[in-house]
Structure 1
Amino acid sequence: MHKDGHRTAARAMETLGSPTRGRQLVAALGAPRREPKPYTAEQALALFVNTNLSKSQYQLLRNSAAQQGADSFYPAYNRVRAAKLACLPHPDDETITASRGEVRLQALLDLTAGRLLLLQRDVLETLTESDAAGLVLLCKWGMDGSSDHSRYKQQGLTEDSHMFVTSLVPLRLVTESGTVVWNNATPNSARFCRPLALAFQKETAELTRAERRRVELEESKLNALRAGRYQVGYRIQLTMLDGKAVGALTETASTQSCTMCGATPKQMNQLEEMLRRPTTNTELGMSVLHCWIRIFEALLSISCRLQLQRRIASGADNQEAVKEAMKKVRVRFREELGLRVSEARSGGVGNSNDGNTARRAFQAPEKFSECTGIDKELIIRLHVILQVISCAFPVNTARLTSFCTETAQLYVRLYPWYSMPVTLHRLLIHSAQIYESCILPIGMMSEEAAEVRNKDVRRYRLQHTRKISRELEMTDLLHHLLLTSDPLISCSRAVDSRKRKALLPQAQLLLQEPEAPLGDRQDAAGSSGTRSRSSSSSSSSSSSSSSSEGGGGCGGDVSEQ
């Protein structure tokens, strides 16, 4: 009785602590007890992948549950293995050697589409016969090289510290009438980034061009998938590229020249001529993640040369003055915003300037201006444009063109002595043209998913591959990348539900339909399978800010929170 009295008093105090707590306690006490349900093989596989378990760890977990009387709570590993095989293509569709592993494009697309049909079966049942026979899967693909991989004591290769990865990301499954059947709510994360090819090779211009030819040859031979009353066609676009890859594919002689109009640095401040130039290669998209970083670094470079009023600091005294100015800028960013700017990374590869650093700096324009001496209005306008190209909402290209032109004119008026950097030139002169060339908004076509995947490749190679031979290692790595990007498995993970920052008011005005506050808009068709009647070009696919989950080789980037 004494203990019961204490419990009653504790519950009374808890009830008084909140006006709604009493109702919650009553509801909890009156709710029927839920009986535990055993995991299905697919649910166990999702748990296996999402918690990064090994086979021995899963067996330990299952045995521990059995000791507590829950013998059938976790299915046997053989059942999990069978579910895993359903996520992989047929062995005849794979080519694996000691130095390279690849999956046929047709097989990967068919596997992805088939898993999406299984995932969205409830939604698909509501489609008419004509819509069911006219489904189209929209995807982006690209390639990227990475370095600093672990080196193992294995025969067959003398160099395994570099890897060249070709990836594909499904973005949206739509009907010919525009109904969105499935939408990738995180198009710039590694969640759905599927491997097409892996190779122990250093990224070169010739390798990049050869890989493009190989994939485009397979693309020209694609056939639609027929599954019962459903037929799925494919449309893919090469946009997951960084500046180095774009330069290699366009065979641009200089990294400082524009790959779209051929303008050189000396010409980029001549705005009238730039606006009249013919453009090409806009279908390769815009490297959104690198765009944030490069423009941030360009403003830092201008800041360090404000006293000299010249871009090239010739002479020992001028070079020393630029170094001292950069030191002061780094100190101010550290004190005012807590950011580490332009600091060398350990190992001598890259620096601390990543997507998060750039986004956080642009979110505080006043302090950014105070730290660098850069005009505050220019910082705000650049932030607006970067937000617009990073979001997944449809853009009013006429308004975007006008806004970019005004921003370019402001830049030239403020800093005529510093010729416009090539990334800033592409952003201000070609953004609208790039948008019109993409099958979906630029924010969904970013290269960030491939950058994030580079980290996964390193980790999976270390933790989930057999080191007995190169071929087994490549097999395990390719299969684990396929498994972790399977749509059914990936959709079982919880999407980050933290509230993201809404677009700036000026950015909202550059969108096509800003009739409602963007922070209140819901996904048109999220990965849970909500059906939307809006067209594929106008339905939103993510929150109002960038929908990515992480960054890759450029640093640990996350969505704009």
Structure 2
Amino acid sequence: MKDENLPNFNAKVNYLESHLLLNYGKTGEDIKNLKQRFALFKVVLKEKWEKSHRKEEAFLKNNESWLNGTFQLPIKSLNRPGRPSKCFHESSERSKRRKTEEIRSTVGDDVIVHAAQTTLSVQGQRYASKILKEITNCPSRAHEYRKAVDKKGNKESAAPLTPLQALTMFVEADLTRRQYEIIRNTNKTFYPPYYLLLEAKQKCYPPKECLRVTDTCAESCLQSLIDNTVTRLSIFLEEVLLTLSEEDRNSLYIICKWGCDGSQQAQYKQKFDSDGKSDANLFLSSFVPLRIVCGKNNKKVIWHNPTPSSPRFCRPIRFQFVKESTDVTKEEIRYIRESVNALKPTEINLNQIKFSFKHSFEMTMVDGKVCNAATGTKSTSQCYICGATQKDFNNITDKEETSNLTGVTFGLSVLHARIRLFESVLHLAYKLPLKKYRKRKTHEEKQLEEKTKKHIQERFRIETGLLVDMPKTNFGNTNDGNTSRRFFENPHLAADITGINYELIYRLKVILETISSGHKIDSQKYDCYAKETAKLYVSLYGWHPMTPTMHKILTHGATIIENALLPIGQLSEEAAEARNKHFRVYRENFARKFSREQCNLDVYHRLLLSSDPLISSLRPKKTSIPKTFCPETINMLMPADSNNNEPDSDDEQQDESITE
């Protein structure tokens, strides 16, 4: 008992009792008798200890004859054959379970836990007793304690960051070189020097000889850019790729979406090489890798983009300081398509094993202006798929007419579709008191329409905080992606403010939710739902023709979905639109200003760096609440994919908005 060095008298006596019970208490009757006999012994021992004023020398001297006496244990025999028994704390886990089996089976869990708490408290281990009580009353606290201990252990033994890890942090935090150097000065052994980050950066870029930079343009050869993209993805997927068979290794396909778009930019005080040039407008072409597939009919998915509508994987092909026009758009489409047709399979080596990747590019990151230019449609009020004009949009027929099959491959432009449907409901609400579309209006009717518009704008501002249909500084208006999302989130309020039929707004919400879900859609069910929505619109507001976007979604949506290579929500143009905002930020904060060429090169490098597949795959993923769909949306999704883990193209980009 003395060898245990316990803190007080009670702890020592309790230890002695536990020792006797473990070694000599074989049956329930033995334990009961032993406890009764030992209780008497403990009372006598405590009295003698107190009379000795808790001094060991006095206790031994005054009770020498009693201490040399005998204490009888109520068991049949102490002579047991076999190996000598060990103390409890020296026993193996299996022996401990065996020795405590009877206690666990006869005594309740709460009693055992309370006894442990009391024992710890008596032994002076108050913090341990308190922790045991907390994790018993609240089991989730046990995870927090364990997490804190692991975090402390990891902190103490944290290894220095590798250049790739440091570069991932550098990109994710949007750091400059100076900011990184300031952070590194706090712990130079943990953060690698900046020159190692520069070496890691070079691996994210195509070879220098494949880049062309002028004062108004920056571009990379598409072959070298896709080779670099595949190589970086292969590093991330190395373990998966090495498990493929030879047949699969030679049938790898990388599926990408691409597109081009124009935007307005701030003008800088820098001189051009020649007159007549301006940096007020930007025209950017880019692509996003979506999937890597292989096997028969390319049904085996090796990798799919977790955020297909995020700019994280949006790779820049070329940007030019030129105003978007029909001729510029046609020339860009011709240039990219020629580059795509000239592509050769990408060959890479992993552990002396060769892999061959073929490429497939789908032009779906486009808006209405690009689609009109690509198909030669001259009027913005004309459908580029069937050629119908606005006066024919309200003629609903069960048979769909498609005169331009090329237009079907452009997808549904989900982000612009959301904004255009939002605007179509607004403009319909402005004209609701008059029930006139383009007929000549009197001065009083114009004033009434303007009054209705201001009333709707004021209600949206007061009740929802949204600024609707208001011009923004320099360019565009406030009707962006986030505004339209919030408009359709609450159909009841939207219908109350605008005066538009609630069922129509709700059905438009369901359609937008379906096409932006990122899951496979049953085209037949979608077609039925869209046609019913179109008939509802015509029956309620036949005096106001549909907009081209509404006509495309309700009339041709099923055909476009059926012909799409991937789920239509994953072919959205959101990534390219968000890149326009990134271009402004990178040009202002991460580019040198003494030369236009160096400025363009820095911006292009930053676009490549922030979209590098390997870095994007290593970035921490955002934890968000799973999105819930309307019952009508779930009914239109394919059964096999309604609960899958494919990304939701509309969720990842909630913070991005576009203006035109």
TM-score higher than 0.5 here? Answer: yes
Displacement, 1:513? 1.3
Displacement, 1:375? 1.0
Rounded Cα–Cα distance in structure 2 between residues aligned with 1:22 and 1:272: 63
| Equivalent residue number for residue 251 of structure 2 | 134
| Equivalent residue number for residue 542 of structure 1 | 647
Displacement, 1:24? 3.6
Paired amino acid for 1:65: N
Contact 2:569/2:649, CA 8 A, preserved across alignment: no
Displacement, 1:267? 0.8
| Equivalent residue number for residue 258 of structure 1 | 383
Displacement, 1:358? 1.3
> Residue 170 of structure 2 is aligned with which of 48, 60, 80?
48
| Equivalent residue number for residue 533 of structure 1 | none
Post-superposition CA distance 1:336-384 (Å, at most 9, x none):
333221122233x222111111121112111111111111111111111
Q: Secondary structure at the match of 2:400?
A: helix
Say whether residues 1:241 and 2:366 are aligned partners.
Answer: yes
Displacement, 1:215? 0.8
Post-superposition CA distance 1:144-198 (Å, at most 9, x none):
1111324133342641121111111111111134222111111111111110001
Displacement, 1:8? 4.2
Paired amino acid for 2:238: R
Say whether residues 1:165 and 2:287 are aligned partners.
Answer: no
Say whether residues 1:33 and 2:33 are aligned partners.
Answer: no
Paired amino acid for 1:260: I
Rounded Cα–Cα distance in structure 2 between residues aligned with 1:494 and 1:160: 35
Displacement, 1:116? 0.7
Query: Mean alpha-carbon deviation: is it higher for 29-38 or for 281-290?
Result: 29-38
Rounded Cα–Cα distance in structure 2 between residues aligned with 1:184 and 1:297: 31
Displacement, 1:433? 1.4
| Equivalent residue number for residue 90 of structure 1 | 207
Question: Structure 1's 20 and 327: CA in aligned 2 closer, same or farther, altered over 3 A?
Answer: same
Q: Secondary structure at the match of 1:240?
A: coil
Question: Structure 1's 263 and 18: CA in aligned 2 closer, same or farther, altered over 3 A?
Answer: farther
Rounded Cα–Cα distance in structure 2 between residues aligned with 1:322 and 1:29: 63
Q: Secondary structure at the match of 2:584?
A: helix
Say whether residues 1:186 and 2:307 are aligned partners.
Answer: yes
| Equivalent residue number for residue 101 of structure 1 | 218
Question: Structure 1's 311 and 63: CA in aligned 2 closer, same or farther, altered over 3 A?
Answer: same
Q: Give me the identity figure in percent.
A: 36
Q: Mark the runs of 5 or more structure 1 residues left unpaired by the alignment.
A: 67-71, 524-540, 556-561
| Equivalent residue number for residue 326 of structure 1 | 453
Counting helix residues as a fraction of each chain, which structure ranks higher?
Answer: 2
Q: Secondary structure at the match of 2:218?
A: strand
Displacement, 1:140? 0.6
| Equivalent residue number for residue 117 of structure 1 | 234
Query: Mean alpha-carbon deviation: is it higher for 89-98 or for 330-339?
Result: 330-339
Post-superposition CA distance 1:213-252 (Å, at most 9, x none):
1111111111111223211110001111111111121121
Q: Secondary structure at the match of 2:239?
A: helix
Query: Mean alpha-carbon deviation: is it higher for 432-441 or for 189-198?
Result: 432-441
Rounded Cα–Cα distance in structure 2 between residues aligned with 1:28 and 1:209: 57
Alignment of 1:357-376 (within 5 A): 357-376=483-502
Paired amino acid for 1:100: C
Query: Mean alpha-carbon deviation: is it higher for 290-299 or for 433-442?
Result: 433-442
Q: Secondary structure at the match of 1:65?
A: coil
Post-superposition CA distance 1:401-439 (Å, at most 9, x none):
111111111111111100111110001001111123322
Contact 2:482/2:657, CA 8 A, preserved across alignment: no
Contact 1:136/1:176, CA 8 A, preserved across alignment: no
Paired amino acid for 1:254: S
| Equivalent residue number for residue 175 of structure 1 | 294
Query: Mean alpha-carbon deviation: is it higher for 47-56 or for 254-263?
Result: 47-56
Count of matched residue positions in the alignment of Structure 1 and Structure 2:
524
| Equivalent residue number for residue 432 of structure 2 | 306
Contact 1:265/1:421, CA 8 A, preserved across alignment: yes
| Equivalent residue number for residue 609 of structure 2 | 483
Rounded Cα–Cα distance in structure 2 between residues aligned with 1:204 and 1:25: 58
Q: Mark the runs of 5 or more structure 2 residues left unpaired by the alignment.
A: 1-123
Question: Structure 1's 223 and 424: CA in aligned 2 closer, same or farther, altered over 3 A?
Answer: same
| Equivalent residue number for residue 418 of structure 1 | 544
Question: Structure 1's 468 and 18: CA in aligned 2 closer, same or farther, altered over 3 A?
Answer: farther
Paired amino acid for 1:338: G
Contact 1:188/1:549, CA 8 A, preserved across alignment: no
Query: Mean alpha-carbon deviation: is it higher for 121-130 or for 287-296?
Result: 121-130
| Equivalent residue number for residue 331 of structure 2 | 210
Contact 1:443/1:546, CA 8 A, preserved across alignment: no
Displacement, 1:277? 4.9
| Equivalent residue number for residue 531 of structure 1 | none
Q: Secondary structure at the match of 1:284?
A: coil
Contact 2:283/2:320, CA 8 A, preserved across alignment: yes
Alignment of 1:443-522 (within 5 A): 443-513=569-639, 518=642, 521-522=643-644
Contact 1:336/1:367, CA 8 A, preserved across alignment: no
Question: Structure 1's 432 and 65: CA in aligned 2 closer, same or farther, altered over 3 A?
Answer: same
Rounded Cα–Cα distance in structure 2 between residues aligned with 1:146 and 1:374: 32
Question: Structure 1's 50 and 409: CA in aligned 2 closer, same or farther, altered over 3 A?
Answer: same
Which of the two has higher C-alpha Rg?
2
Contact 2:381/2:389, CA 8 A, preserved across alignment: yes
| Equivalent residue number for residue 146 of structure 1 | 263
Rounded Cα–Cα distance in structure 2 between residues aligned with 1:459 and 1:25: 39
Contact 1:209/1:248, CA 8 A, preserved across alignment: yes
Contact 1:501/1:544, CA 8 A, preserved across alignment: no
Q: Normalising by structure 1, what TM-score?
A: 0.88
Rounded Cα–Cα distance in structure 1 between residues aligned with 2:585 and 2:202: 22
Question: Structure 1's 342 and 12: CA in aligned 2 closer, same or farther, altered over 3 A?
Answer: same
Rounded Cα–Cα distance in structure 1 between residues aligned with 2:453 and 2:634: 34
Rounded Cα–Cα distance in structure 2 between residues aligned with 1:441 and 1:28: 39
- Which fold has the larger relative contact order, with Cα–Cα distance below 8 Å and residues 6 or more apart in sequence? 1
Rounded Cα–Cα distance in structure 2 between residues aligned with 1:56 and 1:491: 26
Post-superposition CA distance 1:43-76 (Å, at most 9, x none):
111111111111122222222213xxxxx21112
